[in-house]
Amino acid sequence: MQEPQNNIYLEGLLSGDKNIIDTIYQKSFPAVVAFVKKNNGTFQDAEEIFQDALFQLTVRFKVRRFEIKSTFEGYLFTVCRNLWRKELNNRKKMVRNDGVVELVSEEHKHSSFILEQERWELFEEKIAQLSENCMKLLKEYFNKVSYSIIVEKFNYSSENVAFQRVFKCKKRLAELIKKDSRYQELQ
């Protein structure tokens, strides 16, 4: 169970505990730097993303306490990864008009992050309610593993069988998510 350690990290962020923050940086920052650099970013980009993620986690934890079901490091890395991917998409979509770039307000950015994280948590919670086979299958699917490899890994008779199984698992996941009372709030 990771919860007690996760709470120490979250409480430490909230209180500004230098030792906890240093520990978080030592354990998690190198992986974020490696990911960002591998994906067209710089060390400075990684610093920005990491600090933004810590800030947003702190704000979110202050507004509404939440539990992290996985490790804190894994959760923080996922937040950073999602922020970096969003940043890359924003860079592609950035419209320049006579050299002036319109930026989204920080407040909107943070509330958007909170909403995205709550959606992600609902998704993770519901995927954990699926059968173990469906969880593993959807993990492969979401990681864009080809159907031919899925056939081999899961000993399916054909790609068509794999496709049908993925479809059924995705349908079941969507049903679970839509049945949850939080679904409408997160739209």
Give the domain range for residue 160: 131-187
Regarding whether 153 and 62 lie in a shared domain, the answer is no
Domain end (from 112, 128, 144): 128
- Tally the domains of the chain: 2
Regions in the chain scoring below 70 on pLDDT: 1-4, 6, 93-115, 187
How confident is the model over 43-83, as pLDDT tens digits? 999 999 998 888 888 877 777 777 777 788 888 898 899 89
Regarding whether 110 and 28 lie in a shared domain, the answer is yes
This prediction has a pTM of 0.53
Regarding whether 99 and 137 lie in a shared domain, the answer is no
Query: Quick one: pLDDT at residue 32?
Result: 94
Query: Quick one: pLDDT at residue 3?
Result: 53
Query: Quick one: pLDDT at residue 93?
Result: 55
Regarding whether 17 and 87 lie in a shared domain, the answer is yes
Query: Quick one: pLDDT at residue 103?
Result: 47
Query: Quick one: pLDDT at residue 157?
Result: 92
Regarding whether 135 and 119 lie in a shared domain, the answer is no
Query: Quick one: pLDDT at residue 46?
Result: 92
Alpha-carbon span 160 to 150, nearest angstrom: 11
Regarding whether 165 and 98 lie in a shared domain, the answer is no
In the chain, what percentage of residues exceed pLDDT 90?
24
